[in-house]
Structure 1
Amino acid sequence: MLLRIVKRDLQRNKIITFGLFVFIMLSALLVASASQVIIELSGSLNQLLIKSKAPHFVQMHAGQIDSSAIESFTAANPLVKDQQTVEMLNLDGSNVYLGSNQGSEANSVMDIGFVEQNPSFDLLLNLENKVIEVSAGEIAVPIYYMKQKNLKIGDIVSVLGEQFDKKFVITDFVRDVQMNPAMVSSKRFVVNAADFTALKQQLGEPEYLIEFQLTDLSKLNDFRNEYQSSNLPNKGPSIDYPLFKTLNALTDGIIAVVIILVSVLLMLIAILCLRFTMIATLEEDYREIGVMKAIGITQQDIRSIYLAKYIVMAAVASVCGYLLSLGVVRLFTANITLYLGVAPASILHYFVPVLAVGLIFGVVVFFCRMILRRFNRITVVEALRSGTRGEARMNTSGFSLSKRKFVNVNAFLGVKDVYGRFTMYGLLFYVFVISLFIVLVPVNILNTLQSPRFVSYMGVGQSDIRIDLQQSNQIEKRFNEMITKLENDPDISKFSPLITSRFKVLGSDGVWDSLNVETGDFTIFPLSYVHGGTPRSASEIALSDLNAKELNKKVGDIVHLEVAGVAKKLTVSGIYQDITNGGRTAKAQLLYDSKTVLWYVVALDVNPGISVQAKMDQYTKLFYPAKITHLQSYLAQTLGNTIRQLKLVTGLSIVIAFSISILITSLFLKMLLAKDSSQTAILRSVGFTLGDIRRQYLVRMLIISGLGVILGTFAANTLGQKIAQMLGSFMGASKIQFVVNPAVAYLILPLLFMLIVALTTVTSTISIRKSSIAKLIAE
């Protein structure tokens, strides 16, 4: 009997059951995929760190080094397990030509460094995570360029100088634990020792990576303070093991979070649909439930009859979702596999996705049990006497057809029905809200990343061109000469020289630490501040968001900085967002010591009508080997990988959300047409045509979808904004503001959404034609 009841229920509600099945399956598919992405990311990253023997602390330095001083420090420090000094030859992009590309890398934002394979640790690996070995005339190219330039094994890399012309054959692609991510603006090419020596004699500026592995990683901060308080080389940024992990995991980690968000929203839609379907089924079977109670079947057994169907459906849907994820997940893990490699499969690779899918199944069953508690309110007498609980009374106060003015009859009846039965339409309304939320949040995040305004989250003001001078011989002289030429250039409307130096700062723990401070006039190209504003005197300082948190400072607090050997109190004037240099920077108007300068930067705007690209080409030759960057190009090159991944997720979200809207609108109308069959017959009998009735349903659906669009857009710009800020906080931008494209977010997508609902409504109401008036009245 139980099997017959379940079978009949499935046959009676095939479309509804199929819809619920699809929602649960999609939710299971996405949550299984996201969990597999996280496990794959964690395993592959750990494998890369182990295989490459990642350094724990790296100090970059441009200029001469005292090797004996480094060796003495290493020998005397018990925290040091191993140490090596790596020489990297920095080449100007204008000297490097990749593959069949006709142009050089002059306009690339990446710093190109040529190195030999490291002897001890910080090993550079190939695509099989094996240590790269290259012979004379061969080269291993970073994966970043393989993707950007579509390079392959056997392509040629040319290095050209005034008196130098060398061609290398690509034999491998480099996995670099330090410089893998596109967000890291330096890349290492691996060449043979003999080729490195030949290059060094002709081109480039040497830079040194002073690398350490520690005996106890938990004492990394202690070691950093010891190194930076010594007189060892430090003209350059310092990076460490936790930062390697964060930067390598950032892109795919964010994508996994977005997928989980979509999965949770799908699960919410499935639960809303489940509630509506189960309540409708209980109302249809009200008399049968009363009969079963009357003949002695226990309430628990009756509940089990109805629960069995949903348990089987949820179990099959969850299993199907998991099996589909095994194929779909490769779309999301392809980037991980390429940049980090494939980790050996462990029990977690199988257990965690199964556990995640099991959680989806458990949530469905739990809510089914909650909904079926309605059995407690069903009495045998009422069920047998009436056969129904009766529909809630329609609230139509204030809506009288005779009192309508200037309103079409069909539109009036459609509005009246929505107003009177809004509780019933609530399911559709909330599904539309969630669907639009699923669409708009990824679209807004993507638009924000692609916007020129996103540069404000990189700790710099908006300008046309940025010129970077890294450490090299006579750098200060070159910088001063460059400033003189810019002052005399009539094509320049304004420019701002900025100098980054290293200072000592008193941390919240009372220990002096190092802080990179950019000095200059920050009113020329102002930043966007989360709190406060620009430092306008030598007694003020602005801190990046992450630095402010680490130092436990807010606007108006005092920061102790060591300037020219003297402790100085500076007032925090503002806090800004910065995702560069690990998110730990500061801005001030201080006198700097040329011996502690890390790098020089000039930001500038050209006059109207002047070609930015032409000016960049001119400066590339004039200020060689300075790096000339168009800031918009910088965003495209450093965030390009993240943007490509997000485009995939955004496209998938749009397809899923619109598919859900079509499916749920069809299901809802099927139930609504069945419920309104007698009312439809009455309308037809008094003269309403099929077209009139369809227009009434169309008005209802457009009202609900319109309200859903309004609330969904509001939720995307508020709750969605909070989600984006949560993701941004990991990078040092905890107050990201959506850059919304009004035409897309407020016009094209909402209109497309409502058009899909309208077309689905028109298609679904065609079934009214098939029923005669006599049959409808008989029902």
Structure 2
Amino acid sequence: MLLQIVKKDFQRNKIITIVLFIFMMLSALLAACASQVIMELSGSLSNLLDKSKAPHFVQMHAGPIDNAGIQKFASTNPLVKKQQTVEMLRIDGSSVVLGNNNKSEENSVMDIGFVRQNPSFDLLLNLENQVIRVSEGEIAVPIYYKKENNLNIGDQVTLSNGQLDKKFIVTDFVRDIQMNPAIVSSKRFVVNDTDYNALKKNHGEVEYLIEFQITDLSRLSEFRNAYQSSDMPGKGPMIDYPLFKTLNALTDGIIAVVIILVSILLMIIATLCLRFTMIATLEEDYREIGVMKAIGISQRDIRRIYLAKYLVMAACASLLGYLLSLGVVRLFTANITLYLGTAPKTILQPIVPVLAVGLIFGMIMFFCRVILRRFNRITVVEALRSGTVGELKGNKSRIVLSKRRHINVNVFLGLKDVYGRLTMFGLLFFVFVICLFIILVPVNLLNTIQSPRFISYMGVGQSDMRIDLQPSDQIEKRFNELITTLNKDPDIAKFSPLITSRFKMLGSDGIWENINVETGDFSIFPLTYVNGGTPESGDEIALSDLNAKEWNKRVGDNVLLEVDGTSKKLTVSGIYQDITNGGRTAKARLPYDPKSVLWYIVALDVNPNVSVQEKMDQYAKLFYPAKVTHLDSYLSQTLGNTIRQLKLVTGLSIAISISISVLITALFLKMLLAKDVSQIAILRSIGFTLEDIRKQYQVRLLLVSGLGIILGTFAANTIGQKFAQLLGFFMGASNIQFVVNPLIAYLVLPLFFMLIVALTTVVSTISMKKSNLSKLIVE
């Protein structure tokens, strides 16, 4: 009997059943996808760290080194397990041509380095996560260029600087645990020992990677302090094992979190949709439920009849969602597979998505049981007498038609009904809020990352271009020549020379630690500060967000720096956000020692009628091999992969949200029409046309959707903002502010959303027929 009743119910409400089934399936699908992405990311990253024998601590250094001193430090420090010093030959991008592209990498933001395979650890792997071996004339190219330049096995890489022209054949692509992510602006190409030695004589300059593996990772900070407090080489960025993990997981981790957010919101909507459906069913079957109670069928058995349908539906939807996720998840894990590889399957990888889908199924059944408690309030007499659940208490509104002023009757009745049934319409309102939230948060996040203003989260002010001078012979002379040239150039509107040097700072534990401090005038291209402002005197310093958190410093606190051999007390003037160099930087107006300079940077703006690209080409040739970068292209090259992935998720979110708004509006109207069937008949009998009644329903839905749009936009800019800041926290930018396109976010998307709701309302209310008026009145 139960099966027959369930089958009949399916046949009677096919459209509603299909709609609800789709919601449940999508919720299960996204939950399974998100959990699979997380498991794949975790497994692949752990496998890559293991296969590559990742270093735990790396100090990059430009300039001569004392190998004997490094060996002595390694042998006397009990934490050191292994140590190696790796040479990396820095090649100017203007000398490198990749594939069939006729253009060099002159305008690339990436620093190109040629290396040999490492002997002990920090192994460079191919696409099968095997150690790369190349013969003479062969080269292994970073995966970044495979994706950005569409390179394939067999393509050529050409080096040419006027002294030595060399062609290499691409035989592999490099997975590099240190420099894999696009956000890391250095890339390592692997060549044969013989080719490396030949290039070393004719190309570029050597930079060193001083690498360590330690015996106890939990004591990494202790080792870092020991290294920094010694006289070890340190003219370059310092990176460590936790940072490798963060940078490699960043792009796909963000995508996984966004998918989880959408899945949770979709689950909430699915439960509200389920509530609408079940209430509509109870409205239609109210009299039949009374009959079943009257003939002695127990309340428990009646609940089982209704629960059986949703049990079958939820089970099938969850199963189908999981099966579909096995194919759909490849869209989200393709980037993980390319950059990190595929890890051996563990028992948890298939189990966790199943548990995620099982959680969705369990939540659906729990809400079904909660909703079916309404049976406890149904009495036999009331059900047989009225045949309807009846109106809510709030429906006894004090707003009466006779008191309306200058308002159309249909508009007034629509507004009055919303006011009278706030609880019912409140649920629909909440769904609309979530739908718009699902649309606006990914759109705003994408717009923020694509905005030129995002450069402020990289610890630099917004300018047209920047010129980087890396340490080399006579670099200070070349820097002074650059400043002189800029002063004389009438095309330059303003410029700001910035010098990054290594200083010693006294930590909270009493140990002097190395800190990279950028010196210069920061008022020319100001940063956006979380707290405080620009250091304006030589007694002030601004700290990056991560440094401030690590040292527990706030604006107004003091820090102790070693400047010119003496201790100097500086006051923290501001805290800014920076996702470069591990997020650990500082800015001050201090005298610098040319011997401790890490790099020179000049940020500049050109006059309004001057071509930025032409000026970039001019200075690239004039001060070769300086790296001249357009800041807009810097963002697209370093964050391009993240942007592409986020575009995919944003498109999916918009499609899901619009589909939800259509389906939930149609479902709600079906429930409302079933509930209002007697009222519709009465309105028709006193002279209201079907068009009048349709307008009343349109007013109701447009009012609710309009209010939902307002609150949804507010929620996206507050709760969504906090969500973006949570993601940025792990990068050193914990106060990311959305860059909103007002035309899109406040006009185009809301109007499109309301148009969808209006069209759905029109289509759904067509079901009101002119016939059977007398039957409706009798009922």
Question: Residue 416 of structure 1 aligns with which residue?
Answer: 416
Question: Displacement, 1:405?
Answer: 4.0
Q: 1:82 to 1:393 in 2, by over 3 A?
A: closer
Alpha carbons 2:44, 2:343 under 8 Å: kept? yes
How far the C-alpha of 1:256 sits from its partner, in A, is: 0.2
| Equivalent runs, 1:520-559 vs 2, <5 Å | 520-559=520-559
CA distance in 2 between partners of 1:429 and 1:467 (Å): 53
The residue type equivalent to 1:263 in the other structure is S
User: 8 Å contact 2:134–2:191 — kept in the other structure?
Assistant: yes
- Per-residue deviation at 1:309? 2.1
In the alignment, which residue of structure 1 is the partner of 2:507?
507
Residue matched to 1:668: 668
Cα distance between partner residues in 2 of 1:304 and 1:751: 43
CA distance in 1 between counterparts of 2:150 and 2:678 reads 65
SS at match of 1:578: coil
Q: 1:753 maps to which residue?
A: 753
Q: Is the 1:63–1:473 contact (alpha carbons within 8 Å) kept by the matching residues of 2?
A: no
Q: Secondary structure at the match of 2:768?
A: helix
Instruction: Determine helix, strand or coil for the equivalent of 1:108.
Output: coil
User: What CA deviation, in whole Å up to 9, does each residue of 1:96-125 have, x standing for no partner?
Assistant: 111121211111100011111111111111
Partner of 1:8: 8
Q: Which residue of 1 aligns with 2:712?
A: 712
Q: Distance in 1 between matches of 2:405 and 2:382?
A: 43
Tell whether 2:313 aligns with 1:313: yes
CA shift, 1:670, in A, is: 1.9
State the SS of the aligned residue for 1:121: coil
Q: Is the 8 A contact 2:397 2:419 kept in 1?
A: no
For the 8 Å contact 2:114–2:191, the answer to whether it is kept is yes
Task: Give the conservation status (yes or no) of the 8 Å contact 2:228–2:512.
Answer: no
Task: State how far apart, in whole Å, the 2-side matches of 1:748 and 1:386 are.
Answer: 46
Instruction: Give the Å deviation of 1:292.
Output: 4.1
TM-score between both structures, scaled by the size of structure 2 = 0.97
- Distance in 2 between residues matched to 1:386 and 1:416, nearest whole Å: 24
Q: Return the alpha-carbon distance in structure 1 between the equivalents of residues 489 and 112 of structure 2.
A: 29
Please say if 1:625 is aligned against 2:645.
Answer: no
**Aligned partners of 1:770 and 1:155: how far apart in 2?**
72
**In 2, are the aligned partners of 1:469 and 1:601 still within 8 Å (CA)?**
yes
Q: CA deviation at 1:223?
A: 1.5
What letter is aligned with 1:736? I
Find the aligned partners of 1:535 and 1:81 in 2 and give their Cα distance: 42
* d(CA) in 1 for partners of 2:513, 2:364: 52
Q: Matched residues in 1 for 2:377 and 2:600: separation? A: 76
Q: 1:687, CA displacement in angstroms?
A: 3.6
Aligned partner of 2:574 in structure 1 is 574
More deviation, 708-717/739-748: 708-717
Q: Distance in 2 between matches of 1:138 and 1:770?
A: 80
Identity, % of aligned pairs?
77
The answer to whether 1:694 aligns with 2:668 is no
Deviation, structure 1 residue 387: 4.3
Q: In the alignment, what sits opposite 2:608?
A: 608
* Distance in 1, Cα, partners of 2:306 & 2:675: 21
Structural mapping, 1:458-477, within 5 Å = 458-477=458-477
Counterpart position of 1:27: 27
The 8 Å contact of residues 413 and 696 in structure 2, kept in 1 or not, is answered as yes
Q: Distance in 2 between matches of 1:298 and 1:692?
A: 44
Change over 3 Å in CA distance of 1:122–1:512 after alignment to 2? same
Equivalent in the alignment of 1:370: 370
> What is the Cα deviation at residue 59 of structure 1?
0.8
Deviation (angstroms), 1:280:
3.2
Q: Which amino acid aligns with 2:585?
A: T
Q: Name the aligned partner's letter for residue 343 of structure 2.
A: A
CA distance in structure 2 between the partners assigned to 1:153 and 1:26 by the alignment: 39
Q: 221-230 vs 367-376, which deviates more?
A: 367-376
One-letter identity of the residue aligned with 2:598: L
CA–CA distance in 2 between the matches of 1:764 and 1:408? 23
User: Helix, strand or coil for the counterpart of 1:454?
Assistant: helix
Alpha-carbon distance change, 752 to 583 in structure 1, aligned in 2, over 3 angstroms: same
The question of whether the paired residues in 1 share the 8 Å contact of 2:436 and 2:657 is answered with yes
Q: How far apart, in 2, do the equivalents of 1:33 and 1:389 lie? A: 40
Call closer, same or farther: CA 1:771–1:707 in 2, change over 3 Å. farther
How far residue 340 of structure 1 moved from its aligned partner, in angstroms, is: 0.3
Separation (CA, whole Å) in 1 of partners of 2:384 and 2:673: 26
Q: Give deviations 1:716-766, integer Å, cap 9, x for gaps.
A: 111111111111111111111100000000011111111111111222222
Q: CA deviation at 1:474?
A: 1.7
Which digits, 9 at most, give the CA deviation of each residue in 1:202-243, with x for residues without a partner? 111110111111122222112212222222221111111111
Unaligned runs of 5+ in 1: none
Instruction: State the Cα distance separating 1:680 from its structure 2 match.
Output: 2.6
SS at match of 1:285: helix
AA aligned opposite 2:7:
K
Greater Cα shift, 23-32 or 401-410 = 401-410
- Cα offset for 1:457? 0.7
- 2:734: which partner in 1? 734
Residues 603-652 of structure 1: per-residue CA shift (max 9 Å, x gap): 11112211111110001011111111111111111010000000000000
Cα drift, residue 291 of structure 1? 4.3
Q: Cα RMSD between the aligned structures?
A: 1.8
Worse-matched range after superposition: 536-545 or 28-37: 536-545
Contact 1:205–1:472 (CA<8 Å) still a contact in 2? yes
Q: For structure 1, which segment, 761-770 or 441-450, has the greater mean C-alpha deviation from structure 2 after superposition?
A: 761-770
1:604 counterpart SS class: strand
Which residue identity is paired with 1:719? I
How far does residue 551 in structure 1 lie from its aligned partner after superposition? 0.4
Contact 1:139-1:168 within 8 A present in 2 as well: yes
Indicate if the aligned counterparts of 1:453 and 1:462 stay in contact, CA closer than 8 A. Answer: yes
Shift of 1:517: 0.9
1:282 corresponds in structure 2 to 282
Whole-angstrom CA distance in 1 between matches of 2:748 and 2:484: 50
Aligned residues: 779
1:473 positional shift: 1.5
Report the equivalent of 2:58.
58
Counterpart-to-counterpart distance in 1, 2:298 and 2:337: 55
Q: Which amino acid aligns with 1:692?
A: D
2:390 counterpart SS class: coil
C-alpha distance after superposition, 1:51-73 (max 9, x if no partner): 11111111111111111221222
**C-alpha displacement of 1:282:** 3.2
Distance 1:319 1:241 in 2: 39
Code of the aligned partner of 1:276: F
Is the deviation greater in 758-767 or in 728-737? Answer: 758-767
For residues 396 and 390 of structure 1, do their structure 2 counterparts lie closer, same or farther at Cα, with a shift above 3 Å needed?
A: closer
Deviations 1:532-562 (A, max 9, x none): 1111111111111111111011111111222
Shift of 1:489: 1.4
Write the mapping of 1:41-80 to structure 2, written as runs, cut at 5 A.
41-80=41-80
Distance in 1 (alpha carbons) for counterparts of 2:56 and 2:272: 50
Further displaced range: 113-122 or 765-774: 765-774
On the 8 A contact 2:690/2:770 being kept in 1, the answer is no
Rounded to whole Å, the distance in 2 between the matches of 1:72 and 1:511 is 21
Moved more, 725-734 or 11-20: 11-20
Question: For the residues of structure 1 that align with 2:563 and 2:315, how far apart are their CA atoms?
Answer: 67
Shift of 1:391: 1.6
Which is worse superposed, 682-691 or 174-183? 682-691
Q: What CA distance in whole angstroms lies between the structure 2 residues aligned with 1:515 and 1:252?
A: 30
Residue 425 of structure 1 is matched in structure 2 by 425
The amino acid of 2:353's aligned partner reads P
Distance in 2 separating the partners of 1:413 and 1:291: 35
> SS state of the match for residue 206, structure 1?
strand
Amino acid corresponding to residue 621 of structure 1 in structure 2: K
Amino acid in structure 1 at the alignment position of 2:251 = T
Q: Per-residue deviation at 1:511?
A: 2.9
User: What is the CA deviation profile of residues 411-446 of structure 1, one whole-angstrom value per residue up to 9, with x for unaligned ones?
Assistant: 333223223223222222111111110000000000
Any idea what the Cα deviations from partners look like across 1:563-603, whole Å, max 9, x if unmatched?
Answer: 22322221111111111111111111111222221111111
Equivalent residues of 1:89, 1:205 under 8 A apart: yes
For the structure 1 residues 379 and 677, does the alpha-carbon distance in structure 2 shift closer, same or farther, using more than 3 Å as the test?
Answer: closer
Return the alpha-carbon distance in structure 1 between the equivalents of residues 241 and 259 of structure 2: 27
Aligned residue for 1:671, secondary structure, equals helix
CA contact (8 A) 1:273 1:427 kept: no
Q: Distance in 1 between matches of 2:68 and 2:202?
A: 27
Q: 2-side partners of 1:393 and 1:301: how far apart?
A: 30
Match of 1:17 in 2: 17
**Where does 1:445-460 land on structure 2 (aligned, <5 Å)?**
445-460=445-460
Between the aligned partners of 1:510 and 1:369, the Cα distance in structure 2 is 61
SS in 1 for 2:103: coil
Please say if residues 428 and 704 of structure 1, whose CA atoms lie closer than 8 Å, have aligned partners that are also in contact. Answer: yes
